[in-house]
């Protein structure tokens, strides 16, 4: 009888099987096998917050097969090889409970290589009960908050809404950023440049930007200040006041953590956090990268040795530092994994990954490979040149104009990580400029600009902010962002996260009645407490008891004080009620905004929002009649966006999607805008699945991206 190794994933099982001999059988649980049931609270608050875990639907057969595979006899062992974090520890514990294992062995590895797997067998331990308890505490707390606050949302807004402990904080961030943008008042300013020519040789021509007036920073705030400046320095010569040359070392970034990988994949590759983690999971389970949920930037000595060997052989000794580079982890909670994300084998190139998996996995692997390699390379050496031109105006006031340029002396780590150089006029053009050199004024360029608000969050910047505040952990960033979108609270346009009306309403209720739950410091404090529990420093029941009692107090107050009308009424309207001629208010309903009589429920007069008013009639088709009853069609808002519905609803349920006027080149049906598996919008044929045409969009040029 073989020893049994149990993992979560069939792909992981397949990889591990290659490294273990015939004396080991490897099987998978296919994720969690036990969890809290969805249809009830399943937490006994009277008996120490005991969680009533049950077998997940469909996993009974998995447990049955695993039980049959458990070896009999003392000479054989069962090894639980779940992921090296709290969730993995909990899955291992649940598996041991479900299979009634008496003395299971826990094995942990951060990369699926032969050495790592074989060594983990010889260094097996017991299941870490503290880690398990911390994970169960997280699950129970999230259930208590989510289940009970969601019930309040059903009563005060409408059925089907939900609230989560961490997701509500992310929603707050997104809504508050949008409110900042809406409240922002742009301020005018002007960029001013002087076109200059060397007075003596007439060969050096440069453009310098206005920086100071009388030694103080000066940015003209309106056109009058620009005109006054032009008048003051008209026909005046510019003199080189100072030339500063200095060499600057730019050091490489540390290897990836979960957070920085998600940020880079979003910024560089356009991948969502969810897609990034799915691709990384596939690479990890195949044994090609180390564990992808980590907040550590450490590299093992073995990995550093392999990286240095690769740098020396591929790029030469000049790119290799005398000593290895070590990075300090900034995250205060970096404890769930021991290494940063890196390739398991630096001899495995991107081309092989592309052949094995596809282009998406290959792009992510290349990003991980380059970042890990660059982290152990010499710094980039740059010569920076700052030239200050001074001109004295008629008013005897001095103005400083600045020109900056740089030249790469040694590319260093940027040999593998591309970096742009700031080179205003070409370093060679300006490198010979000397102090006191005189330049003729050949013209002034000016451009009116306005200050801009902070940009909306992208997935990358939201992950960075969540990490900054200590909200969530590496394993949760992806699910947090997916959840607020899946619930319909936030939509993604291009790369930006935008709150929808229902998201604003839910956030308003949460901030008004559950200020504690959506407080950044409180949420980070909960994570710290869970980390402390994982170290055996915080007890399960007292922690949950404190949280539960505070929650009950807030729920009782909210049920009593919050009125539905206070939540769903968005504002007053100038429209008159069609029934009583009285005033109307704008309300938010399940499928968007509408007008209702201010006297509701005494008067039930209402008007739907005129969605057609904002419809691009040059882009979209308007159906002539209902396909079922030939009646008039009205544009409505549904769970998945706008659609055409018969005005005779509910007697007639005729609907038509929002079709484009553009036709499919293959079958001549109308095209339609859709959303892909990873949240990316695309244009496809409305005749799908009979016609599978997808329109290819041209990539924006660099100049278009800048604009």
* Catalytic residue ranges: 291
Contact (Cβ atoms closer than 8 angstroms) between residue 628 and residue 607: no
DSSP 499-520: E-HHHHHHHHHHHHH-TTTT-H
Q: Computed from CA positions of residues 496, 501, 502, 503, in that sequence, does the dihedral angle turn out positive or negative?
A: positive
Q: How far is residue 694's CA from residue 689's CA, in Å, rounded to a whole number?
A: 12
Q: Is the previous residue joined to 601 through a cis bond, with omega within 30 degrees of 0?
A: yes
Element (H, E) at 566: helix 564-568
Q: How far is residue 140's CA from residue 522's CA, in Å, rounded to a whole number?
A: 17
- Alpha-carbon distances, residue 325 vs 247, 317, 328, 376 (angstroms): 21, 15, 10, 6
Contacts of 95 (CB under 8 A, 6+ apart): 6, 29, 33, 66, 80, 82, 101, 104
Q: How far is residue 224's CA from residue 190's CA, in Å, rounded to a whole number?
A: 10
CA angle in degrees (0–180, nearest 5) for 579-583-587: 90
3-state secondary structure 412-479: HHHHCCCCCCCECCCHHHHCCCCCCCEEEEEEEEEEEEECCCCCCCEHHHHHHHHHHHCCCCCCCHHH
Contact (Cβ atoms closer than 8 angstroms) between residue 325 and residue 376: yes
556: burial class by Cβ within 10 Å (0-12, 13-18, 19+)? exposed
Of 380, 253, 251, 407, give the one whose Cα is nearest residue 318.
Answer: 380
Contact (Cβ atoms closer than 8 angstroms) between residue 417 and residue 371: yes
Please count the other Cβ atoms lying within 10 Å of the Cβ belonging to residue 328: 8
Taking phi over 0 as left and psi of -120 to 50 as alpha, with beta for the rest, 574 belongs to alpha
Query: What stretches of 100-199 show up as alpha helix (H) in DSSP?
Result: 114-122, 129-156, 167-183
Element (H, E) at 261: helix 258-264
611: phi then psi, degrees, rounded to nearest 5: -70, -25
Q: How far is residue 513's CA from residue 418's CA, in Å, rounded to a whole number?
A: 49
Contact (Cβ atoms closer than 8 angstroms) between residue 65 and residue 27: yes
Q: How many residues does the chain have?
A: 707
Q: How far is residue 308's CA from residue 255's CA, in Å, rounded to a whole number?
A: 14
Q: Which residue matches tokens 């936030």? A: 490
- Alpha-carbon distances, residue 497 vs 43, 231, 278, 538 (angstroms): 34, 46, 20, 36
Contacts of 261 (CB under 8 A, 6+ apart): 276, 280, 292, 341, 367, 368
């Amino acid at each position: 009888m073989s020893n049994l190794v149990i993992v979560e994933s069939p792909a992981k099982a397949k990889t591990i099987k290659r490294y273990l001999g015939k004396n080991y059988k490897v099987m998978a649980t296919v994720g969690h096998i036990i969890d809290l049931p969805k249809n009830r609270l399943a937490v006994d608050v009277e008996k120490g917050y005991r969680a009533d875990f049950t077998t997940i639907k469909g996993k009974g057969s998995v447990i049955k097969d695993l039980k049959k595979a458990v070896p009999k006899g003392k000479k054989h062992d069962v090894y639980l090889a779940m992921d090296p974090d709290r969730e993995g520890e909990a899955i291992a514990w649940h598996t041991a409970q479900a299979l009634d294992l008496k003395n299971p062995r826990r094995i942990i590895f951060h990369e699926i290589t032969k050495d790592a797997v074989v060594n983990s067998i010889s260094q097996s331990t017991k299941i870490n009960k503290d880690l398990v308890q911390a994970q169960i505490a997280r699950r129970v707390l999230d259930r208590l908050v989510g289940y009970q606050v969601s019930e309040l949302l059903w009563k005060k807004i409408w059925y089907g809404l939900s609230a989560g402990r961490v997701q509500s904080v992310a929603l707050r961030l997104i809504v508050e950023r949008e409110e900042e943008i809406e409240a922002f008042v742009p301020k005018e300013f002007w960029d001013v440049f002087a076109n200059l020519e060397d007075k003596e040789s007439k060969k050096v021509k440069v453009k310098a930007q206005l920086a100071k007036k009388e030694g103080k920073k000066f940015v003209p705030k309106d056109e009058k200040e620009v005109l006054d400046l032009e008048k003051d320095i008209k026909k005046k010569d510019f003199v080189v006041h100072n030339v500063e040359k200095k060499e600057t070392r730019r050091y490489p970034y540390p290897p990836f953590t979960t957070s920085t990988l998600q940020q880079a994949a979003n910024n560089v590759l356009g991948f969502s956090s969810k897609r990034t983690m799915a691709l990384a999971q596939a690479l990890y389970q195949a044994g090609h990268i180390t564990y992808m949920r980590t907040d550590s930037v450490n590299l093992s000595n073995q990995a550093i040795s392999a990286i240095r060997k690769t740098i020396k052989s591929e790029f030469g000794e000049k790119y290799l530092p005398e000593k290895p580079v070590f990075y300090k982890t900034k995250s205060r909670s970096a404890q769930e994994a021991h290494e940063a994300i890196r390739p398991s084998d630096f001899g495995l190139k991107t081309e092989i990954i592309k052949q094995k998996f596809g282009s998406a996995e290959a792009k992510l692997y290349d990003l991980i490979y380059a970042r890990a390699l660059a982290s152990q390379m010499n710094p980039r050496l740059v010569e920076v040149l700052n030239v200050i031109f001074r001109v004295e105006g008629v008013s005897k006031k001095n103005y400083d104009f600045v020109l900056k340029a740089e030249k790469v002396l040694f590319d260093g780590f940027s040999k593998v990580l591309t970096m742009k150089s700031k080179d205003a006029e070409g370093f060679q053009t300006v490198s010979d400029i000397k102090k006191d050199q005189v330049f003729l004024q050949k013209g002034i360029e000016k451009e009116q600009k306005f200050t801009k608000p902070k940009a909306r969050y992208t997935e990358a910047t939201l992950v960075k902010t969540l990490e900054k505040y200590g909200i969530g952990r590496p394993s949760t960033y992806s699910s947090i962002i997916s959840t607020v979108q899946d619930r319909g609270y936030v939509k993604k346009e291009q790369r930006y996260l935008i709150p929808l009306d229902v998201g604003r309403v839910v956030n308003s209720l949460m901030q008004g009645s559950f200020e504690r739950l959506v407080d950044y410091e409180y949420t980070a404090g909960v994570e710290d407490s869970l980390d402390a529990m994982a170290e055996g420093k915080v007890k399960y029941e007292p922690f949950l008891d404190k949280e539960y009692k505070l929650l009950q107090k807030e729920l009782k107050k909210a049920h009593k004080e919050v009125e539905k009308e206070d939540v769903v009424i968005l504002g007053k309207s100038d429209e008159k009620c069609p029934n009583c001629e009285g005033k109307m208010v704008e309300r938010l309903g399940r499928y968007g905004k509408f007008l209702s009589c201010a006297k509701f429920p005494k008067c039930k007069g209402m008007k739907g929002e005129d969605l057609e008013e904002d419809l691009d009639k040059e882009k979209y088709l308007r159906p002539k009649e209902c396909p079922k009853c030939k009646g008039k069609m009205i544009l409505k808002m549904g769970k998945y966006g706008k659609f055409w519905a018969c005005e005779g609803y509910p007697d007639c349920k005729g609907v038509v999607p929002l079709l484009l006027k553009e036709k499919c080149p293959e079958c001549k049906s109308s095209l339609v805008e859709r959303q892909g598996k990873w949240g990316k919008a695309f244009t496809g044929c409305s005749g799908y699945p009979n016609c599978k045409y997808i329109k290819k969009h041209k990539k924006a040029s660099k100049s278009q991206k800048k604009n």
